[in-house]
C-alpha cells in the first residue's frame, strides 16, 4: 500500500481512506462470514494425495489487490503481444519449426519432451487457435513494472476464484464499490462461451455450436471451477463416460439420445484425453477423440500439445520467441532466469543456491522446487545433488523480484508476497483480457509460495477505472 | 440434458426422501419405545430396523436392540452404509455432480443440510438430543423443498427430481405398511384393546399421518380405514395414491416435453390403476401383504424403466 517514498501508493489512496474508517472488529467478523459463505456455496477444493476426501477452502484475504488504470493499460499491451507470440510459436513448433531452423531455440528442448505431442505435427486446430484460454503469472517488480513468472498455456485454473472473490467482496462491502470505481469481471463466462463458439470446427457449420466442459469428475481439485464455468456458460458439464464416437463425431449421452459436441473445453490433461492415443488405461476421455479432432469433427480447448509452451526451459527463451514472431521488442519481461543446462549458468547457480529459487522445467503446482533463502543447509545440499545429476532439468531465478501487498493478518495489516494471473481468451476474432485476474498471496510471513496446495490464499484483484 | 445428470438428480432426491422418511420412522419408534417396558420397546426398535430392510446388517454388528444402539446405527454408524448421514452424504455428492442443474438456493440448502448434519452427528447421539437431530433433518428437508418449489424451472430436471422423490416415498410408505400389516390384520382377541390403539397410532405416526387421519376420521380408529388412508387417500401427501398422482403428472409432463411416450408410460398405467381404482375391501380380500408386495415390485420396475428410457446410464 506504501510507495517507495513511504507515502500511500496512489492505487490505494481511496481504499486506504475507506479502510481507515473501518472498525477492526467488524472487519474480523466479516472475514469469518466470508469463510462461512464459501463453505455454504461449496467453493472448495480437494487436495491430491489426501486419503480422506476432505474439502478445503482456499483462504480469502479481504484486502483487495489494486492495479491502476495506467498500470493495466501497459500490462494489457504486453500480455496481448505475448499471447499472440505464444500461438504463433505453437503453430510453428507443430509445423516447420522455423525458430529452430533459425537457430533461435535449441532443438534439444523439444526432443524427448513429453509435452511436445507428435500427434499434433502438421495439424492446425480450428481457427488456428492453440491456446483458447491462457493465464499469465506476473509479479510486480517496480512502480509500474510487471514481469512474467510463468505462462500457463495448458489449462490455467483459478478463474472461478477471480469471479467469486469479487462477488464476495461486493456482498461484504457494497459501500466500498460506490467509493472506488472498479472494472467489472463478471462477464468473463459470457465472453468465454462466445470465444469458444468462435472456434467451432468445420463440422459445426450451419448451426449454433454446442459447447461442453469436460471434467475428470467431482474428486478433481478444480471440480468446483468446472461446474461453475459450465453453469455460468449454460454448457453441459460432461465426464469421459458421457462421451462416445457416433457417426464420426464426439457425442454426449443425453436423455434424448446422443448429441454431437462441437467445442469441448476440456479440463482433462493431454495424457488422459484419449485412451487410443495416449494413456491406454484412461477413462477420463473418450476413445478416438484425437482422430475426430484431426478430422475436423470437434474443437478441443486448449489444443493438445500446448503444454510445451509452459515448459520453464522454453520460458527462458520467451523474449526471443516474442521477437521472432511479432518482430517487436517484448513489452513484458521475464524474470531473470539461469538455464542450468548451460555450464556457465549451472556454475553460477551452484555457487548461489542459498539466494535463488530453483525450479524443475516440467514442474507445476509449486512442487519440486528449492527456495534458497528459506531452506536449511541440509535441504540445499540435497537439492545440489539432484541439480548436479540432471542439470538440464532445472532453471533458477532470483527471489528478490516478488512484490508484497497489504494483507489482513492477526496483528493488523502486514505485507505478503503476491503474484497476479490475468485470464486471456483467444479466438480468430482476437484476444480479450479480463481486467483483473487471480491474485494469489503467500499467507505465511516471508513465504514466497503462493500455490493453494501449499498454504497460499487469494485476493480480489481490482483494476481501477479512469 | 445429460443422462448422467438425470440419474444424479433422480438419486439425489431419492436419497433425501429416504433420509427424511427414515427420520420420521425413528421418531415414531422413539415415541413408542418411551411408552413401553424394556422387552416390548426392544421389539419396537427391531421393527424399525426390519422396516428399513437392515435386519441382517444390523445383527451382524450389534448384539441387542437397545434404543440408543439402534438410533445411532441408523443415524451415523460407520459400519452402516445406509445410515442417514451416508444418505445425506450421497445426496450431497450427487448434488455436486449435477451442480449446474440446480439453482444456487437448492444447492445451498442441500449443502447446508449435509454440513449441519455432519456436525450434529460428529458424536454419538444420546436420548436427550435425539429429538434435536430428528428435527434438524425434518427442517432441512423442508428447506430443500421450499427452495425447489420457489426457484427451480418446471422443466425436465424438475420432473426427474420429483420422480425420484415420489417413487422413493411410495416405496417407503409401502414398506412401513408391509412391516406393520399384521398390526392391521383383524385379530379377535385384541380388538378394541388399548395396545391395538397404540400400535395403530404408531403406524400412522411412522408416516406422520396421525393428525391428518384424525382430522378426516373423527376419532374412528380401525385397521381397515388406516390402511385405506395410507394406500388410497389421494389427499394425504405420503399415501401411495398421492405419490402416484404426482408420478403420473411428472411422467406426463416429460412425455409432452419430449413429444413422445416411452415404455415407462405404459408401465405407469398399471401401477397407477392399483392405487387409483383399488378398493380397500378387495385389497383385504387378496391380502394386504400380497397387495403391498405386488405394489413394491411394480414401483421398482417403473423406476428401472424410467432409468432405461431416459438413458440414465450407458
Q: How far apart are CA A336 and CA A316, in angstroms?
A: 8
Nearest-neighbour CA in chain B from A278: distance (Å)? 24
Average pLDDT over residues B207-216: 89
Closest by CA to A390, choosing from A415, A417, A363, is A363
Spell out which residues of chain B touch residue A237, defining contact as CB-CB under 8 Å. Answer: 2, 99-100
CB atoms within 10 A of CB A413: 14
Residue from the list A227, A236, A255 with its beta carbon closest to the beta carbon of B156: A255
Q: How far apart are CA A105 and CA A101, in angstroms?
A: 8
Residue A110 is placed in which grid cell?
Answer: 523439444
The region that residue A252 occupies, defined by phi over 0 for left and psi between -120 and 50 for alpha, beta otherwise, is: beta
- B262 part of contact set with chain A, CB < 8 Å: no
pLDDT in tens, B159-173: 999 999 999 999 999
The pLDDT mean for chain A works out to 90
Spell out which residues of chain B touch residue A245, defining contact as CB-CB under 8 Å. Answer: none
The torsion of the CA quartet A366, A367, A368, A372, rounded to 10 degrees, works out to 50
Cβ partners under 8 Å of residue B191, min gap 6: none
Average pLDDT over residues B188-202: 65
Residue from the list A39, A40, A42 with its beta carbon closest to the beta carbon of B96: A42
> Cβ contact (<8 Å) for B4 and A230?
no
Intra-chain end-to-end CA distance of chain A, in Å: 19
Which residues are registered as beta bridge partners of B2?
A254
Average pLDDT over residues B270-291: 90
Q: How far apart are CA A389 and CA A340, in angstroms?
A: 11
- B103 part of contact set with chain A, CB < 8 Å: no
- B93 part of contact set with chain A, CB < 8 Å: yes
Interface test with B, best of A54, A255, A256, A286 (most B CBs within 10 A): A255
pLDDT in tens, A404-428: 888 887 777 888 989 999 999 999 9
Residue from the list A218, A231, A236 with its beta carbon closest to the beta carbon of B2: A236
Residue A398 has pLDDT above 60, yes or no: yes
Quick one: pLDDT at residue B194?
A: 57
Quick one: pLDDT at residue B16?
A: 97
Is the Cβ–Cβ distance between A239 and B8 less than 8 Å?
Answer: no
pLDDT in tens, A255-296: 999 999 999 999 999 999 998 888 888 888 899 999 999 999
The pLDDT mean for chain B works out to 91
Quick one: pLDDT at residue A51?
A: 45
Architecture of domain A336-399: 2-Layer Sandwich (3.30)
The angle at the Cα of A421, spanning A187 to A131, to the nearest 5 degrees, equals 75
Quick one: pLDDT at residue A276?
A: 85
Quick one: pLDDT at residue B157?
A: 97
Residue A328 is placed in which grid cell?
Answer: 517487436
Of chain A, the percentage scoring pLDDT greater than 70 comes to 95
* Residue with grid cell 412391516, as numbered in its chain: B179
If you measure CA to CA, which chain B residue comes closest to A38? Answer: B108
Quick one: pLDDT at residue A11?
A: 81
Query: What are the percentages of helix, strand and coil residues in chain A, rounded to 5?
Result: 35, 25, 40
Q: How confident is the model at residue A400 (pLDDT cuts 50, 70, 90)?
A: low
pLDDT in tens, A42-74: 887 776 554 445 678 888 999 999 999 999 999
Q: How confident is the model at residue A454 (pLDDT cuts 50, 70, 90)?
A: confident
Average pLDDT over residues B187-200: 61
Residues of chain A with CATH 3.30.1490.270: 336-399
Model's pTM, two decimal places? 0.91
Quick one: pLDDT at residue A327?
A: 97
Quick one: pLDDT at residue B193?
A: 56
Residue A31 is placed in which grid cell?
Answer: 472475514
> Cβ contact (<8 Å) for A256 and B258?
yes
Quick one: pLDDT at residue A363?
A: 65
The region that residue A180 occupies, defined by phi over 0 for left and psi between -120 and 50 for alpha, beta otherwise, is: beta
Intra-chain end-to-end CA distance of chain B, in Å: 15
- B107 part of contact set with chain A, CB < 8 Å: yes
If you measure CA to CA, which chain A residue comes closest to B160? Answer: A255
Surface of B (221-240) touching A: CB under 8 A: none
Determine the 3-state secondary structure of B59 from DSSP: helix
Spell out which residues of chain B touch residue A44, defining contact as CB-CB under 8 Å. Answer: none
Average pLDDT over residues A243-249: 96
Average pLDDT over residues B51-68: 93
Spell A223-242 as b/e; 16+ CB within 10 A means b: bbbbbbbbbbbebbbbbbeb
Q: How far apart are CA A59 and CA A441, in angstroms?
A: 9
Q: How confident is the model at residue B188 (pLDDT cuts 50, 70, 90)?
A: very low
Amino acid at each position: 500500500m506504501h510507495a517507495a517514498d513511504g507515502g500511500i501508493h496512489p492505487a490505494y489512496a481511496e481504499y486506504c481512506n475507506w479502510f481507515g474508517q473501518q472498525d477492526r472488529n467488524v472487519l474480523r467478523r466479516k472475514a469469518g462470514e466470508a469463510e462461512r459463505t464459501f463453505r455454504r456455496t461449496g467453493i472448495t477444493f480437494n487436495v491430491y494425495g489426501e486419503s480422506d476426501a476432505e474439502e478445503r477452502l482456499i483462504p480469502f484475504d479481504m484486502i483487495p489487490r489494486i492495479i491502476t488504470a495506467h498500470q493495466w493499460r501497459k500490462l494489457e499491451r504486453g500480455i496481448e503481444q505475448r499471447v499472440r507470440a505464444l500461438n504463433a510459436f505453437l503453430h510453428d513448433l507443430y509445423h516447420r519449426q522455423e525458430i529452430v531452423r533459425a537457430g533461435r531455440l535449441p532443438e534439444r528442448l523439444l526432443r524427448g519432451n513429453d509435452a511436445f505431442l507428435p500427434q499434433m505435427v502438421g495439424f492446425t486446430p480450428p481457427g488456428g487457435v492453440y491456446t483458447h484460454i491462457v493465464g499469465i503469472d506476473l509479479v510486480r517488480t517496480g512502480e509500474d513494472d510487471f514481469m512474467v513468472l510463468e505462462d500457463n498455456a495448458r489449462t490455467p485454473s483459478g478463474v472461478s476464484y477471480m469471479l467469486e472473490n469479487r462477488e464476495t467482496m461486493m456482498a461484504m462491502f457494497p459501500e466500498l464499490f460506490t467509493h472506488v470505481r472498479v472494472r467489472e469481471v463478471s462477464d468473463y463466462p459470457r465472453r468465454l462461451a462466445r470465444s469458444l463458439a468462435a472456434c467451432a470446427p468445420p463440422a459445426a457449420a450451419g448451426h449454433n455450436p454446442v459447447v461442453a466442459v469436460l471434467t475428470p469428475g467431482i474428486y478433481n481439485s478444480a471440480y468446483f471451477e468446472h461446474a461453475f464455468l459450465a453453469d455460468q456458460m449454460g454448457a453441459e458439464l460432461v465426464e469421459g463416460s458421457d462421451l462416445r464416437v457416433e457417426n464420426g463425431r464426439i457425442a454426449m449421452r443425453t436423455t434424448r439420445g446422443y448429441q454431437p459436441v462441437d467445442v469441448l473445453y476440456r479440463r482433462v490433461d493431454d495424457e488422459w484425453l484419449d485412451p487410443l492415443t495416449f494413456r491406454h488405461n484412461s477413462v477420463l476421455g473418450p476413445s478416438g477423440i484425437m482422430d475426430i479432432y484431426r478430422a475436423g469433427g470437434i474443437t478441443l480447448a486448449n489444443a493438445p500439445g500446448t503444454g510445451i509452451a509452459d515448459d520453464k526451459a522454453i520460458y527462458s527463451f520467451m523474449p526471443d520467441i516474442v521477437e521472432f514472431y511479432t518482430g517487436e521488442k517484448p513489452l513484458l519481461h521475464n524474470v531473470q532466469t539461469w538455464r542450468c543446462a548451460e555450464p556457465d549458468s549451472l556454475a553460477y547457480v551452484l555457487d548461489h543456491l542459498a539466494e535463488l529459487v530453483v525450479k524443475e522445467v516440467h514442474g507445476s503446482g509449486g512442487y519440486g522446487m528449492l527456495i534458497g533463502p528459506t531452506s536449511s543447509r541440509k535441504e540445499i545440499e540435497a537439492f545440489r545433488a539432484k541439480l548436479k545429476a540432471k542439470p538440464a532439468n532445472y532453471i533458477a531465478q532470483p527471489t528478490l523480484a516478488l512484490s508484497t501487498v497489504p494483507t489482513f493478518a492477526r496483528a493488523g495489516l502486514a505485507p505478503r508476497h503476491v503474484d497476479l494471473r490475468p485470464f486471456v481468451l483467444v479466438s480468430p476474432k482476437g484476444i480479450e483480457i479480463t481486467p483483473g485476474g487471480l491474485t494469489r498471496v503467500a499467507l505465511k510471513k516471508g513465504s514466497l509460495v503462493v500455490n493453494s496446495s501449499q498454504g497460499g490464499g487469494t485476493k480480489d484483484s481490482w483494476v481501477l477505472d479512469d | 440434458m445429460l443422462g448422467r445428470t438425470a440419474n444424479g438428480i433422480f438419486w439425489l432426491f431419492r436419497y433425501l426422501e429416504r433420509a427424511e422418511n427414515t427420520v420420521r420412522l425413528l421418531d415414531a419408534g422413539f415415541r413408542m419405545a418411551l411408552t413401553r417396558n424394556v422387552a416390548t420397546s426392544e421389539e419396537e426398535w427391531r421393527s424399525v430396523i426390519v422396516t428399513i430392510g437392515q435386519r441382517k446388517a444390523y445383527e451382524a454388528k450389534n448384539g441387542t436392540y437397545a434404543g440408543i444402539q439402534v438410533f445411532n446405527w441408523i443415524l451415523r454408524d460407520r459400519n452402516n452404509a445406509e445410515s442417514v448421514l451416508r444418505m445425506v452424504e450421497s445426496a450431497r455428492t450427487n448434488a455436486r455432480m449435477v451442480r449446474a442443474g440446480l439453482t444456487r438456493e437448492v444447492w445451498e440448502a442441500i449443502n447446508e443440510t449435509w454440513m449441519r448434519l455432519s456436525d450434529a452427528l460428529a458424536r454419538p447421539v444420546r436420548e436427550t438430543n435425539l429429538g434435536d437431530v430428528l428435527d434438524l433433518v425434518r427442517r432441512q428437508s423442508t428447506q430443500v423443498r421450499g427452495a425447489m418449489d420457489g426457484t427451480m424451472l418446471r422443466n425436465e430436471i424438475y420432473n426427474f427430481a420429483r420422480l425420484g422423490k415420489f417413487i422413493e416415498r411410495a416405496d417407503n410408505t409401502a414398506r412401513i405398511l408391509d412391516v406393520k400389516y399384521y398390526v392391521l390384520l383383524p385379530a379377535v382377541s385384541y380388538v378394541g384393546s388399548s395396545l391395538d390403539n397404540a400400535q395403530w397410532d404408531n403406524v400412522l405416526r411412522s408416516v406422520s399421518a396421525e393428525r391428518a387421519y384424525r382430522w378426516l376420521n373423527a376419532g374412528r380408529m380401525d385397521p381397515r380405514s388406516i390402511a385405506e388412508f395410507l394406500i388410497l387417500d389421494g389427499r394425504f401427501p405420503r399415501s401411495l395414491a398421492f405419490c402416484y398422482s404426482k408420478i403420473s403428472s411428472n411422467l406426463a409432463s416429460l412425455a409432452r416435453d419430449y413429444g413422445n411416450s416411452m415404455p415407462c408410460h405404459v408401465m405407469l398405467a398399471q401401477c397407477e390403476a392399483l392405487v387409483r381404482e383399488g378398493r380397500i375391501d378387495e385389497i383385504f380380500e387378496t391380502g394386504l401383504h400380497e397387495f403391498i408386495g405386488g405394489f413394491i415390485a411394480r414401483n421398482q420396475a417403473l423406476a428401472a424403466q424410467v432409468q432405461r428410457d431416459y438413458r440414465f446410464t450407458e
